[in-house]
Structure 1
Amino acid sequence: MTHPIDSLVHAAVFGDGAAKANARKQIHLQARKSGAVASSIYSLYMAIARSEVRAFTTPAFNIRALTYDSCRALFRAAMRHDVGAFIFEIARSEIGYTEQRPSEYAACVLAAALREGFRGPVFIQGDHFQASAKKWATAEGRAAEMKALESLIDEAIAAEFFNIDIDTSTLVDLSFPTRDEQQRANYEGTAHLTKYIRARQPKGITVSVGGEIGEVGKYNTQPDEVRAYVNGLIRLLQGQVGISKISVQTGT
């Protein structure tokens, strides 16, 4: 006999119109009621920064296929080994080529938590919400790309992605002579989207926003690049809550 949660997931992924939307809504409501709550990891990161919690690595899993089944396996393993924080994430590019919109992805993750009896915060993250350098080259392209990123953020927050990594590192231009000039488009893009998120995050929730400096696979990030990026963000955010982490290229 098919388990009720399995049936809900099938409707949430393969259903039509109202049936799909209703299944996703029911999954979110049931998960919240059972204690598997879509959450922001911001408070944990801040506690680590204040040395209130011993620093540790928070693993993040990009689930591109068989999302419900893969997440069930992850929850089982986490409960078996008494694992702490871990993240389920999907990048902008992955959303595109796997055809998993945020609402579908979040529903599958939360349904997996329900099915396995997981209780606790569930961290769902938008990974590499990345700007296209090619599109950014013209004013028209820049406006369209920013609008696309804003729309994706709206969609993600509505699906209870309370962790979002902004990746405008693609806009870094090393042809400029100073680090500030090289990082300017990067920190300006991050600042704009951070403000956009803060204006739309649900009341009582501080979305964990990540930034990025070095593109994966390129040269290792230098300390003065980090300083230029952070100083630029601080100037533009003007006291608003900023980012909670920075991804750098370390050669690993």
Structure 2
Amino acid sequence: VAEPGVPKKGEVEAVKDLTKESIDAGFYNIDIDTSTLVDLDRETEKKQQEPNIKHSLEIAKFVRSKEPKGITVSLGGEIGHIGGKNSTVEDFVAYVEGFNAGLSSGVVGMSKISIQTGTSHGGVVLPDGSLADIDVDFGVLAEISKVARKKYKIGGAVQHGASTLPDEYFSQFTESQAIEVHLATGFQNITMDHPKFPKKLLREMYAWLDKEKVDERKEDWTNEQFHYKLRKKAWGKFKKDCWQIDEGARKEIRAALEKRFEFMFKQLNVVDTANMVNKIIKPLEIHKKISDFGQKDKKRKEVKGLAD
């Protein structure tokens, strides 16, 4: 953020470019996170959320203009920057009402809203690389989800930054009526920290981060904190290397992931729900060709430093 409520020059356009690339590649579930623009120094929730609403609307309108025929992209918004103060119903109402007021007639709005309940992307990393214990306000999650459904016909609240929480927390997400739970970092950790993940490859990934992502390192971070927080950005560069990991090692890593998937399916109460989903959801089949995924000689825009 250049100043409170104002994005850095070119950042919104870079987000639009990435969004267009994602839609072209067949991704129809997009979360718009402009919550870093919320200005808590303003007097009311409505005024605090105004910059967030403004740029959420800008990106949402762009998404709707790029949808393939017959597809409605599921859009998510965000009202509280993850790692910041916990969200309130007042924050939620201010954002949704402001956003809806800015939509043209007949344009589909948000289907879900990510809120802040005390978590952080990837967990709160201590200087030694371990994760700190944190508390989650499940009451906020339940209260906002209830208002979302009853008053605004929105699916509910999204719990992000959840994957590194203690196992006993996960069953509470269904009890709190969360519509979505983000779990990627936990799966990444199972993979990268697995005894069979090549140590040499991991060192090469960290060395690449040290060279290419040093501008995203905070002054007070240790090497362990920097590598843990940024290693998700190394997957693309080392995709081929990961594909070429020994099959025996990949088999063991997959088994560890499968065990975790099974745990999550049970805790989040989604076992044996395929028939119910198929009864309600009738997706339009989209078949992509390799050429739909971009051209090798296409120059990519610089997207360093985009907030996640």
* Pairwise TM-score range, normalised by the shorter structure: 0.3 to 0.5
TM-score between both structures, scaled by the size of structure 2 = 0.36
TM-score between both structures, scaled by the size of structure 1 = 0.44
Please tell me whether Structure 1 or Structure 2 has the larger radius of gyration of its CA atoms. 2
The structure showing larger relative contact order (alpha-carbon pairs under 8 Å, at least 6 residues apart) is: 1
Which has more strand, going by share of residues?
A: 1
